Chains A and B, each alone.
Chain A
Amino acid sequence: MLDFILSKYNYWIYIILMMIGFYAMIGKKNLVKKIIGINIFQTAIILFFISTAAKSGGTLPIIEHGQGHGAHAIEAASYVNPLPHVLMLTAIVVMVSTLGVALAIVIAIYRRYNSLEEDEILEKRKWPRNLLF
């Protein structure tokens, strides 16, 4: 059992990180802590994707000496899979934009309510409460 955990330790870390992030997003009352939670959550996903690409003994997926001459070297087993890396580059762009939008919205909230605590904002909000939530 211990062997199973240790040999796949990167996946365990991914799950633990993801749960920490998830808890912060749902459970924390402070809006900035929620944003940090989003980031931990998304970083965990990056770790997961990069883990799937790794191979023991794999090297950089660059064929030396360019086109044509590298034909002998194409053995997929000896190269790290580059595709998840590329996907994560795109995902990082998305995550940075999410962070930017989230921070901008939090600034707007802070200007209106002078607070970043969820329960204080809910108390201060002027809009009428409904009969049911």
Chain B
Amino acid sequence: MAPQSPVLVVVIPLIFAFLTFAFGWWRKDLCYPIALVAVSISFLASLHTIYTVITTGTIHYYLGNWEPPWGIEYVVDHLNAFVLVIVSFISLVVAISSKRTVEQELPEKVVYFYCIFLLQVTGFLGIVVTGDMFNLYVFLEIASLAGYALIAIGEDGAPFASFNYLIFGTIGACFYLLGVGYLYIVTGSLNMADLSQILPHLYHSKVVLVAFAFFLVGVSLKMALFPLHVWLPDAYTYAPSAVSSLLAPLMTKVGAYVMIRLMFTVFKPHFSIELIPATTILGWMAAGAILFGAVLALAQIDLKRMLAYILVSEVGYIALGVGLANRNGLTGAILHILNDSFMMLALFLVVGAIMYRSGNREIPQLRYLHRKMPFTMAVLVIAGLSVIGIPPTCGFFSKWYLILGAIDASCWVFVVVLLVSSLLNVVLFFRVIENVYLEPGEEHAGRGSELVIANEEAPLSLLVPILIAGAGIMLFGILSGKIISVVIQFAVPQYFVTL
């Protein structure tokens, strides 16, 4: 019997989403534990999945026992399984952390929040696990629709930001759907493995080219790749804290996964690299994203908005790794999916904690926070160092592979871009750290008296996830060699390994 874990990963949060809603009518306080149970089961199932994949190889799961070209198939290989574990683990951490911030920010909407939260997680996990083009579209829309709803319940300005996101997201999804349609016309198939068998004979057809263009633009919109990122900063700034700490690490990474899957599995690398210069164009767009995101982040006063622009720049790193199209570049890109998820998780959770305690997140207002919230601020520093790329943290290693990839491809411009962006990130984070840690001197302190600052550390349900994220950043940095040798080297498409 085939292992059931790939389907459980998706089905459990879906069923529990409706259970949450049903129990919510009865008792509001049950929603949090139910959501927690759902995401935990999902995480355990994904651990079982990655264990099975590592020990026995790719899993094929036929839904309803319909054979692949006709039925929907879930295919889990090393790349899927890797992203699957990241998504389910981060969902679990965010679910734990959401308790207090949701109670504070959305007291009326706890039930609906957890219901949509689980649907959102279902969407992400479904996108990652499926091996069917149209099924992917449906999950993409589940994730996006849940995302629009979650963002719209945020603070002032959130509904309008969410509406803009909806317009862009719908264009992206519709383009993806059109791409599926064009491929279906010429191949008569929707199964990814089947398509990759049929397509090579049709690579010179204009229809396939149009489909590829639609896919690339659609997915770029979903993953907020520069210059299609315009919806992101507003949406993630005004969303509730718990929502931005779920969406910011995952939505863009899942989009990046879809892009890798489309470019190198559905279409063969031969097509994406040699027949049309897709990867080259992607590389240059990514370089633009890295610089543009970092420069605009400099201009922000709002800490959360600054992080949103850093996210635009981080998406650029992943796209650059894909665009370099060699073994080191792709290793860097896939490793960065993991690293950036944890960096963004840590940073957005820290902002959530600051918001929870002080209700203010403007960078000049962060003074004395190192005395009020010492642990939270320590994690902020670790995550900042990781975004910059200082060795023991994980951010260094993915950047290292990206730079190696750029050197292998002899794209010296990209090497320069990567180094310059590190410098820009130094400026960005030292501005924040300076505001947090350096106190005004005696003459500015006023009245010369010792300021008494109470310890206002974040509540435990918020602090533990923050510490987990911080520990993750250090741990994945130290273990990055192990992660690459066990999972990522198999996740890189075969074409690049033999190159």
Q: With both chains docked as a complex, state the minimum distance between the C-beta of B176 and any C-beta of chain A, in angstroms.
A: 11
Q: With both chains docked as a complex, state the minimum distance between the C-beta of A57 and any C-beta of chain B, in angstroms.
A: 20
Q: Is the CB of A52 within 8 A of B134?
A: no
CB within 8 Å of B: which A86-133 residues: 87, 90-91, 94, 97-98, 101-102, 104-106, 108-109, 112-113, 121, 125-128, 130-133
Residues of A within 8 A of B162 (CB): 105
Q: Is the CB of B181 within 8 A of A45?
A: yes
Count of B residues near A, CB < 8 Å? 32
Residues of B within 8 A of A83 (CB): 184
A113 to B156, CA, bound (A): 10
Q: Is the CB of A105 within 8 A of B148?
A: yes
The answer to whether the Cβ of A79 comes within 8 Å of any Cβ in the partner chain is no
Contact among A49, A84, A106, A133 with B163 in the assembled complex (CB-CB below 8 Å): A106
Residues of A within 8 A of B138 (CB): 90, 94
Contact among A87, A104, A127 with B134 in the assembled complex (CB-CB below 8 Å): A87
Residues of A within 8 A of B134 (CB): 87, 90
The answer to whether the Cβ of B300 comes within 8 Å of any Cβ in the partner chain is yes
Tell me the interface secondary structure of chain B in the complex: helix
Q: A42-B174, A45-B178, A98-B145 are in contact. Are A109 and B184 (CB under 8 A)?
A: no
Contact among A45, A105, A131 with B299 in the assembled complex (CB-CB below 8 Å): A131
Tell me the interface secondary structure of chain A in the complex: helix
Q: A90-B134, A98-B141 are in contact. Are A105 and B300 (CB under 8 A)?
A: no
Q: With both chains docked as a complex, state the minimum distance between the C-beta of B224 and any C-beta of chain A, in angstroms.
A: 15
Q: A45-B181, A87-B134 are in contact. Are A125 and B174 (CB under 8 A)?
A: no
Q: Is the CB of A52 within 8 A of B181?
A: yes
CB within 8 Å of B: which A58-82 residues: none
The answer to whether the Cβ of A38 comes within 8 Å of any Cβ in the partner chain is yes
- Closest residue of chain B to A107, judged by CB? B159
Q: Is the CB of B181 within 8 A of A49?
A: yes
- Closest residue of chain B to A110, judged by CB? B159
Q: With both chains docked as a complex, state the minimum distance between the C-beta of A130 and any C-beta of chain B, in angstroms.
A: 6
Residues of B within 8 A of A112 (CB): 156, 159
Residues of A within 8 A of B185 (CB): 52
Q: With both chains docked as a complex, state the minimum distance between the C-beta of B82 and any C-beta of chain A, in angstroms.
A: 28
A54 to B297, CA, bound (A): 51
Contact among A25, A48, A49, A52 with B167 in the assembled complex (CB-CB below 8 Å): A25
A49 to B134, CA, bound (A): 13
Q: Is the CB of B170 within 8 A of A125?
A: no
Q: A45-B177, A52-B184, A109-B163 are in contact. Are A130 and B156 (CB under 8 A)?
A: no
- Closest residue of chain A to B180, judged by CB? A87
The answer to whether the Cβ of B149 comes within 8 Å of any Cβ in the partner chain is yes
Residues of A within 8 A of B149 (CB): 101, 104
Q: Is the CB of A38 within 8 A of B177?
A: no
A22 to B214, CA, bound (A): 14
Q: Is the CB of A25 within 8 A of B171?
A: yes
- Closest residue of chain A to B362, judged by CB? A128
Q: With both chains docked as a complex, state the minimum distance between the C-beta of B97 and any C-beta of chain A, in angstroms.
A: 25
Residues of A within 8 A of B178 (CB): 45, 48
CB within 8 Å of A: which B123-152 residues: 134, 137-138, 141, 145, 148-149, 152
Q: With both chains docked as a complex, state the minimum distance between the C-beta of B55 and any C-beta of chain A, in angstroms.
A: 35
Q: With both chains docked as a complex, state the minimum distance between the C-beta of A96 and any C-beta of chain B, in angstroms.
A: 11
A133 to B293, CA, bound (A): 12
The answer to whether the Cβ of A31 comes within 8 Å of any Cβ in the partner chain is yes
Q: With both chains docked as a complex, state the minimum distance between the C-beta of A68 and any C-beta of chain B, in angstroms.
A: 20
Instruction: Known A-B contacts: A42-B174, A98-B166, A126-B157. Give 4 more (CB < 8 A).
Output: A25-B167, A31-B163, A48-B181, A102-B148
Q: Which 9 A-B pairs have the closest CB atoms?
A: A108-B159, A131-B299, A127-B157, A94-B141, A109-B159, A132-B299, A105-B152, A105-B163, A105-B159
Binding site for B on A (CB under 8 A): 22, 25-26, 31, 34, 38, 41-42, 45, 48-49, 52, 83-84, 87, 90-91, 94, 97-98, 101-102, 104-106, 108-109, 112-113, 121, 125-128, 130-133
Binding site for A on B (CB under 8 A): 134, 137-138, 141, 145, 148-149, 152, 156-157, 159-160, 162-163, 166-167, 170-171, 173-174, 177-178, 181, 184-185, 238, 296, 299-302, 305
A-B contacts, 28 of them at CB < 8 A, read: A22-B171, A25-B167, A25-B170, A25-B171, A31-B163, A38-B170, A45-B178, A45-B181, A52-B181, A84-B181, A84-B184, A91-B137, A94-B137, A94-B141, A97-B145, A98-B166, A101-B149, A102-B163, A102-B166, A104-B149, A105-B152, A105-B163, A108-B159, A109-B160, A113-B160, A125-B156, A132-B296, A132-B299
